[in-house]
Amino acid sequence: MPTILLVDNEPDILAAMRMALEWRGYRVLLSEDGSTALEKAGRNLPDLIVTDCSMPEMDGVELCRHLKLYPALMTIPVIMVSAAAQPHPQPALWNAFLLKPVNLDAFESTVELLLLSRPLRETLRPLCSDRAMSRWQPVSSELIS
């Protein structure tokens, strides 16, 4: 059963997404901010992360940047959710973007698509010779800027 980490500072949105995903049989972890989400991702290695863009302290974009620093976390697919237009980071830090209010059918389809494509993406992903020796040691920021 795939594990999905939901990150949003609005409890009602977390509850709605959680209910939709648990109904489909997914294991769901919750976090209300980016720094807690990063910690939970490191401890649980979820199969997918769904994060809000705008959160206090560490927002969704910053969370995605931090995820890319760790080899153990950098291949986890991410869905960015926001009430505003999609931000344009360089390089792309997430795999899909959905506008709030999220259409649950589109949300569930996107989740399924990313979970199904994850093993293929990991096997086709080119190896980086500058990757850190430990999967928990951060990768140089030069690799993601």
pTM: 0.81
Residues 8-28, mean pLDDT to the nearest whole number? 95
Residue 28 to residue 40: CA distance in whole angstroms = 12
Residue 45, phi-psi category: left (phi > 0), alpha (psi -120 to 50), beta (remainder): left
Q: What is the pLDDT of residues 80-124, one digit of tens each?
A: 999 887 777 656 899 999 999 999 999 999 999 999 987 544 544
Work out the number of other CB atoms within 10 angstroms of the CB of residue 78. 24
82: which strand partners?
Answer: 99
Residue 56 has pLDDT above 90, yes or no: no
pLDDT at 92: 81
pLDDT at 119: 59
pLDDT at 140: 56
Give the E-state strand segments of 2-145 in sequence order. Answer: 3-7, 27-31, 48-52, 78-82, 96-99
The pLDDT-based confidence of 141 (bands split at 50, 70, 90) is low
Residue 58 to residue 39: CA distance in whole angstroms = 12
Read off the amino acid at residue 93: L
Whole-number percent of the chain with pLDDT over 70: 79
The pLDDT-based confidence of 142 (bands split at 50, 70, 90) is low
Residue 75 has pLDDT above 80, yes or no: yes
* Architecture field, domain 3-143: 3-Layer(aba) Sandwich (3.40)
**3-class SS of residue 88:** coil
- Residue 17, class by beta-carbon neighbours within 10 Å (0-12 exposed, 13-18 middle, 19+ buried)? buried
pLDDT at 121: 44
6: which strand partners?
Answer: 30, 50
